Structure 1
Amino acid sequence: MNLVQKSEGFVRDYLAQNLSPDILYHNITHTERVVHRVVELAQWENCSAEDKELLTLAAWFHDVGYATQFENNEIVGAQIAEEFFKSENLAADKIEKIKSLILATIPKSEPKTLLEKIIKDADCSHVGSEYFFDVSTALKTELELHQHQKIKSTEWDQGNLEFLDEHQFFTTSAKENWQAQKDKNRLKLEERIREREEKLADKKRSRKMGRGVETMFRVTLKNHMDLSAIADTKANILLSINAIIISVAIANLLPKLDSISNTFLVYPTMVLLFFSVVSIILSVLSTRPNVSNVHVTREMIKNNQSNILFFGNFNKMSLEEFEWGIEYLIENQDTLYNSLTRDLYFLGLVLERKYRLLRITYNVFMIGIVLSALAFVVSYFMIAEVS
């Protein structure tokens, strides 16, 4: 078994044992593709047998670092390759050449030698292939899993377009054989972006024309606000009534309890005061505001994770961030409608809590009045019988 075959076997086993299943692009399939493209370019560029071997060895190891870490994986891959080739007693100068070829695949690095240009072009050969969009989808999913964040298709396509504009093939062979397909892919990507923008524009126009959506949100939110005001009014009424009851009890009943002849009033008065205090506490809880302590970021707004239309969410934002968020909502109606929907939903949750506490308060108040009245009547008759 020659060194290339040993390298292939080592990389296949290493990736199979250590590579995360979330790595959907930088896997063994991509490595095989790069190896194939390296051999192809080396033949077109009339490289020597030794150079072909070095390129093939570097291609097998160029992405093995992804099994350890996502960022700066090329450095890790070069270290793994160095350890492997030392164990195979490969000459030190060849190991250094292989390491430099692996490091040449670092994004935005500038290749200097012909071999570095070859492996650089092979690593990005998908941009000049018919399977460019399939590879792009796999890479998008891989980044989403790594970043734990959804990437919008519009942003991804625009980023791909910018990448194609910045990318260039370095070898003459790659330019002659792959540039034409790359240009086709770019045109197809532009067309897809344009079609998506037209659909989005049509969608926005249809929403602007449909005033029923705005009317629905406006009327529903107004109804919820009216219900909230009614709940606050009812709570204030209960709060006032119980405050008056406590004031009257303290002013008129408590001074009379010093007299032995009025001891029968102690328990009824305590019952009345207890239920009045509980009613006041529940009334306060039903109207007490609850402001969020979450600091809303631009990423949260973009991902529909917050609603800055509610003051409780944007109170910790700076003026600049808030202005940016409002402009973003105006420009992205999907996010705007989502914010209105979230506002309506959470307002409903607040109303549910208010009316639940209000119902409990009314029940407590009613039970307290009944028990207090019964306590006064029972105590009066008991003292009458004793007399």
Structure 2
Amino acid sequence: MEDIIEKAEQFVSNLFETRLSTVNFYHNINHTRRVVEDISQLAEWEGCSEEETKILKLAAWFHDTGFVEVDKGHEEVSVKFAQEFLHSNQVSKDVIDLVTDLILVSIKDLKPKTNLQKLIKDADCSHVASESYFEISNLLRKENALKLDTSFTDLEWLEGNKEFFEWHKFYSDSAKLKWQPLKALNLRELNAKIDKIKAKQASKKSSNKFGRGVETMFRVTLKNHIELSAIADTKANILLSVNAIIISVALSNLVPKLDNLSNAFLVWPTLILMLFSVTSVVLSVLSTRPNISNVNVTKEMIMNKQTNILFFGNFHKMGLKDFEWGIDYLMENQDVLYNSLTKDLYYLGLVLERKYRLLRITYTVFMFGIIISALAFIISYYNFMKPLKDLV
């Protein structure tokens, strides 16, 4: 009998490999192997005899072979494959009848009567208690979408899964004891996913009350502020470049000549020019120097609208998991999201005010520095040349 199990495995594997549609992402050899493993586990827990276990395994191997020909009513085709295989291997009629009954009981609306029927029924739906339930469910979703030529939204699929959970029940005592708690955990996670999607949809619906005008206001205003910030940085860079050139020229051409007495009149004008140029450079640097917060942002601060994690200067000390939680929280709570955008706009405005204030001071210093330096050169040159004219 053990030899017939190995032959059945080989037969079904070859059948699926050669004839099963490539769109059977769920009803394939992987599902069949999983059912065989689970039926073996249930048989052990239930204390089934060796003969009963082998019969259960045979039924598990053949229960979905009908999918190579049809989807609806595949159980009858599966019975045909099983009977032909068992007859060809000279299996007794009693065993063939048992295997037939076990395959047919896998029809969705049929309720099992015998203990073996309960076990095959439970094993066929054991994935509801699997740790990989959602991955397995997605395979069935993909298969149904292609075969039915339709698509399911995440919410539609999850709610369909929930209906199946509520309809489904385990029949054997072992499955109730071992798998029911795991099924309950999957149902809880399923409900959580459904609630999360519904909350997001409700948030999107509530967002409509703000209208496109509010979103456009934030988008345009933030864009204008960013452009103004870029203009301020460009102006600061221009001042930095101009004053760096002035300082370089002064250091390379004027300063070396100051040790000559004939050029003594250049000392004060050069010092004045250098002083104003250095001051302009310092102010330009201050206007572009970034300021990063050292506050450790917490979840409570986010929920209480006390911070804005849309700005990197605030979230740079947060861990990745906390930051991901914060972004999810913003997406799920529109009032907090708009509050963060408002804070972002406000503090960007404060930064711009500081930049333009320092730039105004810098331009003023630079302007007066050029004027005073030019006047100093003129006055010094005049005072230097006047004694020479008197001597002449």
Q: How far does residue 164 in structure 1 lie from its aligned partner after superposition?
A: 0.7
Describe the SS at the equivalent of 2:101.
helix
Q: Percent identity?
A: 43
CA offset digits 1:352-386 (Å, max 9, x no partner) = xxxxxxxxxxxxxxxxxxxxxxxxxxxxxxxxxxx
- Aligned match of 1:206: 207
Tell me which residue corresponds to 1:58.
Answer: 59
> Shift of the alpha carbon at 1:193?
0.4
Which amino acid in 1 is paired with 2:25?
A: L
Gapped runs of 5+ residues in structure 1? 216-387
User: What residue is the counterpart of 1:268 in the other structure?
Assistant: none
Q: Alpha-carbon deviations, 1:259-283, whole Å to 9, x = none?
A: xxxxxxxxxxxxxxxxxxxxxxxxx
Please state if 1:120 is matched with 2:121: yes
Structure-1 separation of matches of 2:106 and 2:210? 51
Q: Which amino acid aligns with 2:210?
A: M
Secondary structure of the residue that 1:109 maps to in structure 2? coil
CA distance in 2, matches of 1:212, 1:19: 55
What SS is found at the alignment partner of 1:23? coil
* 1:16 match: 17
Q: Aligned equivalents of 2:109 and 2:182: distance in 1?
A: 22
Equivalent in the alignment of 1:106: 107
Q: Distance in 1 between matches of 2:137 and 2:108?
A: 16
2:190 maps to a residue whose letter is L
Runs of 4+ in 1 over 4 A off after TM superposition: none
Distance in 1, Cα, partners of 2:91 & 2:165: 38
Amino acid at match of 2:9: E
Q: Aligned AA for 2:82?
A: A
How far, CA to CA, are the matches of 1:203 and 1:147 in structure 2? 30
Instruction: Indicate the residue corresponding to 2:146 in structure 1.
Output: 145
Shift of 1:173: 0.5
Deviation per residue, 1:295-314 (Å, 9 max, x gap):
xxxxxxxxxxxxxxxxxxxx
Indicate the residue corresponding to 2:192 in structure 1: 191
- List aligned pairs for 1:19-30, cutoff 5 A: 19-30=20-31
Q: Return the letter of the residue paired with 2:96.
A: I
The higher radius of gyration belongs to 2
- 1:17 maps to a residue whose letter is T
Inter-partner Cα distance in structure 2 for 1:111 and 1:98: 14
Give per-residue Cα distances to partners, 1:211-265, cap 9 Å, x unaligned: 549x9xxxxxxxxxxxxxxxxxxxxxxxxxxxxxxxxxxxxxxxxxxxxxxxxxx
State the distance in 1 between where 2:212 and 2:178 align. Answer: 54
Give 5+ residue unaligned stretches, structure 2: 217-392
Measured in 2, the distance between the counterparts of 1:86 and 1:181 equals 39
> What are the residue-to-residue correspondences of 1:1-387 with 2, within 5 Å?
2-212=3-213
- SS of match in other structure, 2:24: coil
Q: Which amino acid aligns with 2:14?
A: D
In structure 1, how many angstroms separate the alpha carbons of the residues matched to 2:148 and 2:129? 27
1:92: Cα distance to partner? 1.0
- Secondary structure of 1:69's counterpart equals coil
Residue 347 of structure 2 corresponds to which residue in structure 1?
none
Give the secondary-structure state (helix, strand or coil) at the position aligned to 1:208: coil
1:153 CA drift (Å): 1.4
CA distance in 2: counterparts of 1:102 and 1:153, whole angstroms: 32
> 1:120 & 1:4 partners in 2: Cα distance?
20
- CA–CA separation in structure 2 for the residues paired with 1:112 and 1:9: 30
Equivalent in the alignment of 1:235: none
Which letter does structure 1 place at the counterpart of 2:182? Q
Query: Shift of the alpha carbon at 1:119?
Result: 0.5
Report Cα offsets for 1:331-366 as digits up to 9, x if no partner: xxxxxxxxxxxxxxxxxxxxxxxxxxxxxxxxxxxx
Q: How much does 1:209 deviate?
A: 1.8
Look up the SS of the partner of 1:2 in the other structure: helix
Using the TM superposition, give the Cα deviation of residue 108 of structure 1 relative to its aligned residue in structure 2, in angstroms.
Answer: 2.2
The separation in 1 between residues aligned to 2:209 and 2:83, in whole angstroms, is 62
**1:68, distance to aligned residue in structure 2 (A):** 0.8
Structure 1 residue 79: Cα displacement = 0.8
Question: Taking structure 1 as the reference length, what is the TM-score of the superposition?
Answer: 0.54
1:281 paired residue number: none
Deviation per CA, 1:53-75, whole angstroms, max 9, x where unpaired?
Answer: 10000000001111111111111
Residue aligning to 2:374:
none
| Distance in 2 (alpha carbons) for counterparts of 1:168 and 1:132 | 16
Please tell me the root mean square deviation across aligned C-alpha atoms, in Å.
1.6
State the Cα deviation string for residues 100-145 of structure 1 (Å, max 9, x = none).
Answer: 1011111121011100000000000010111111111000110001
**Secondary structure at the residue paired with 2:208?**
helix
